Amino acid sequence: MGVARFALCKISSSLLPRMHRPSALRQMSVAADLKNSTIFRSQGLIGGRWVAAHDGKTLQVNNPSTGEIIADVPFMGRRETNDAISSAYEALNSWSKLTATERSKCLRKWYDLIMSHKEELGQLITLEQGKPLKEALGEVSYGASFIEFFAEEAKRVYGDIIPATLADRRLFVLKQPVGVVGAITPWNFPLAMITRKVGPALACGCTAVVKPSELTPLTALAAAELALQAGIPPGVLNVVMGNAPDIGDALLASPQVRKITFTGSTAVGKKLMAGAAGTVKRISLELGGNAPCIVFDDADLDVAVKGVLAAKFRNSGQTCVCANRVIVHEGIYEKFAEAFSKAVQNLQVGDGFTEGVVQGPLINEAAVQKVESFLQDALSKGAKVILGGKRHSLGMTFYEPTIVTDVKTDMLLAREEVFGPVAPLLRFKTEEEAIRIANDTNAGLAAYIFTSNVQRTWRVSEALEYGLVGVNEGIISTEVAPFGGVKQSGLGREGSKYGIDEYLELKYVCLGDMNRK
């Protein structure tokens, strides 16, 4: 099968006191066990074959908790991507002509295999992405749920019959797969962001070329290995990684790729949108957020604290739906800040394999520097840190869970997505002001409100310019509901019965001369 070099480097003596020797050694042991797993792969997948880059170049995949090299994977580019596109295009005809039931059975088998390897996949996510193991296992279940859901939804891609305007006509609407799909996914959910795209694509008869993040490709490769084991034919699912601009350009330039789906930054999304115009591709974009979390004075304080905690600090604040601005009514501002601080103080920071840890590292040094620059901007404009506010004593890219008060709307913390464990608290006086502050952004992905007033629930939910709204709840994503944003947070929806429509084309068929004898 030709597995690329798997590296388990010795941990430097200077790092061990900060990381704790048992923790570091435990991660080395987990990595070694995963190397021998039946799901571990460190090469690209093209046409059912595990392959290296044409020129033999590789890139390192690092553990963000320790900085250690986990594995070397191929540094692929335009040539390998074109090979993958050709493979997907060749497989399209046979895969799309299978019955929905046959495709459904393949996807169901894939789901079963993902769940039977849940522990290994969770360990792999923690190893290369850093999130706590419990959270990683949750992602495996969440990611697998999209495969299960769309395995069922494959059999419910219904067409339509339109009453004809002429007696001798019959009018039909067919739904057919759009074709080859290019899927570009981020590092923060290395399994779920793939299954949420590939599940519906394969269910309706499309084939796919997936480009996972170069920071977290191993989970994608493991999922692809399980797809092969499930009997999904060669070429239906391909995985390339490496030179992101070259891979993206190849997907955009190819007329054989009929759909691009992307989760990531708004800046990259705009480039993909512009690039897709050249061949007029269908495009789905799930981009950055700037989620407001409004806490009204009639909210249950315990519910609000618990909800904001979940919405803000999941994955160390590294999700596109994390609460980026906590907007609190002035009448309960101090009370909420005190209760919230007590809750945040109890968040245990550490490597994801340590029992009780709920906050892992940030993905890399650039992420830490971004947090630091946003915080410095806020402090220079009058904000105050009441908890955290600095790198954690563990070193590496660990950062203390942080709460900042007296935040104003002109600060970077309120204008842009911090993507880290920093909770900025803003004040408001009236419901109208809270809505205005919440909507004062180009983003429109997720929003949260905490209130005990039913009328306010409906009123504010409808007024918020966001694709998702959580009411008295901080975790709202599910495979059965549509996920996506408005404004510059993207186009289209993922998950739910609506998600499969992103991968289907409508075809109108008119049958004439029905009464001719």
- Catalytic positions are 286
Strand partners, 427: 328
DSSP letter (8 states) at residue 91:
H
Virtual CA dihedral for 197, 198, 199, 204, nearest 10 degrees?
100
CA distance 476 to 211: 27
CA distance 21 to 29: 12
CA distance 426 to 374: 15
CB contact at 8 A, 231 and 98: no
| Secondary structure (DSSP) of 16-46 | HHHH-HHHHHHHHHHHHHHHTSTT---SEEE
Q: Are strands 504-511 and 160-162 parallel, antiparallel or unpaired?
A: unpaired
Q: Which amino acid is at 489?
A: S
CB contact at 8 A, 198 and 171: no
Give the side-chain half-sphere CA count within 13 A for 187. 22
Burial of residue 477, with CB atoms counted within 10 A of its CB: 0-12 exposed, 13-18 middle, 19 or more buried: middle
